Structure 1
Amino acid sequence: MDCPDCGNDRTRVIDTGTSTDGMSVRRRRECQRCSFRFTTYERPEWNSLQVKKRDGRIESFSREKLRAGVERAVEKRQVTEKAVTDVVDTIESELQDHETCIVPSRLIGELASEKLRDLDQVAYIRFVSVYKAFSEPEEFLRELDAVLDAELDDFGRSTPQNLSDNL
C-alpha cells in the first residue's frame, strides 16, 4: 500500500478491525519513511457470480461449463444452437437476479434440469443422470416414470386409448 503523503510503498499495519457496517476490514497504517498515518478499508469485490460446489469450494461461474453440460445433454437431438444459447442465457440471467453473488451448484443443476425438461425430455434424462449421479438402473426408471407420468397428465390420463388418440 503506497503512502498517500509521500508515495512510499513501505507501510505497516498498526491496527486492524471490522468496519461499522461489518462488510469490510478497517486498517490503520503508518508510512515507514514519513510516519504519516492513514486508514484503508478492504471490501470483497464481486465481479461475477461465484459457485459454491458440493465439497464447499467456491469458484467463478463458468458460462462455458454450463453450455458444455447442456450441449452434451442435447447431443444428437433435434435442438438448435439458438435453443441451447437461450437456455444458457436464461439460467445465467436467473442466477444474476439472486440476491447473493455466491450460488450453490445445486441451484444451477436444478435450473438446467428444469429448462431441459421443457426443451427436450431425452436431453433432460441425460442431464439429470449425470447431475444426480445415477448409479443404478432403478434411478433411471424412476426419473423416466416421472417424465412419462407428467406427459400422460398433459394428455388427460384417462385411458391408453385417449393417449393414442392425442398422438
Structure 2
Amino acid sequence: MRCPYCGKLDSKVIDSRPTDDYTSIRRRRECINCGKRFTTYEKVEQVPILVIKKDMRRETYDRDKILKGMIKACEKRPVPIQKLEEITEEIDRQIYNSLEKEITSTKIGEMVMEKLKQVDEIAYVRFASVYRQFRDINTFMEELKKLIKNNIEK
C-alpha cells in the first residue's frame, strides 16, 4: 500500500477491525519510511453478473427481485419472511459460486421454483403461473397434476 504522505510502498498494519456493517475491514497502517499513520479499507470485490432475459436483453443481477417475487407469491400464506430471506441467500450464493458471469432468467426462475416447492406448494403454483406464463387453464392443470403426482409418490 502506497503511503499518502511520502509515496513509498512499505507499510505495516498496526490494527485491523471490521467496519460497523461488516462489509469491509478497516486497517490502520504505519509507513516504514516516514512513520506517519493512515487508514485503508479492504472490501470483497463482487464480480457483476448479468441476467439474460427471455427476450435476450441483459441486465445486472439483482437479488432483491428474487425476494420480491417470492414475497408476492407467498402473500397471505404462512411462510415467514425469514425463510424467504434464507432461500434468497441460498440462491444468491449458488449463483455467485457458479463463477459464471451470465445466467439466464430461466435458470434463476427454476431455482426459485424448486425452493418454493419445498416450502409452500400454493406459493410455488403462484410463482410458476407468473413465471411460466400459463396460456390457459389446461397448462395450469398440467402443472397441478405434476405436483399432485409428486406428492402421491412421496
TM-score normalised according to structure 1 size = 0.63
Q: In the TM superposition, what are the counterparts of 1:18-57 in structure 2 within 5 Å?
A: 47-57=47-57
Cα distance, 1:55 vs structure 2: 1.2
Q: Distance in 1 between matches of 2:49 and 2:90?
A: 15
AA paired with 1:91?
Answer: I
How many positions carry a matched residue from both structures? 110
Query: Which residue of structure 2 lines up, in the alignment, with residue 30 of structure 1?
Result: none
Cα deviation code 1:63-91 (max 9, x no counterpart): 11111101011111000011010111111
2:141 aligned partner, one-letter code? L
Cα distance in 2 for residues equivalent to 1:146 and 1:62: 30
> Secondary structure, in 3 states, of the residue corresponding to 2:47?
coil
The equivalent of 1:124 in structure 2 is 124
Letter in 2 for 1:149: K
Residue by residue over 1:101-132, the C-alpha shift from the partner in whole angstroms, topping out at 9 and shown as x without a partner, is 11111110000010000110000000011110
CA distance in 2, matches of 1:68, 1:58: 20
Deviation at 1:58, TM superposition (A): 1.0
Equivalent residue, structure 1, for 2:59: 59
Kindly provide the CA deviation profile for residues 28-82 of structure 1, in whole angstroms up to 9, marking residues without a partner as x. xxxxxxxxxxxxxxxxxx7322111111111111111111101011111000011
User: Identical aligned pairs, as a percentage?
Assistant: 30
In the other structure, the counterpart of 2:43 is: none
CA RMSD of aligned residues (A): 1.4
Name the residue aligned to 1:87. 87
Give the match for residue 96 of structure 2: 96
Matched residue, 2:29: none
1:119-149 deviations in whole A, cap 9, x for unaligned? 1000000001111000200111111111111
Q: Where does residue 146 of structure 2 map in the other structure?
A: 146
C-alpha distance in structure 2 between counterparts of 1:75 and 1:92, whole Å: 22
Extract structure 1 runs of 4+ deviating beyond 4 A. none
Secondary structure of 2:56's partner?
A: coil
For the residues of structure 1 that align with 2:81 and 2:68, how far apart are their CA atoms? 12
Deviation (angstroms), 1:96: 0.8
Q: Which amino acid aligns with 2:72?
A: R
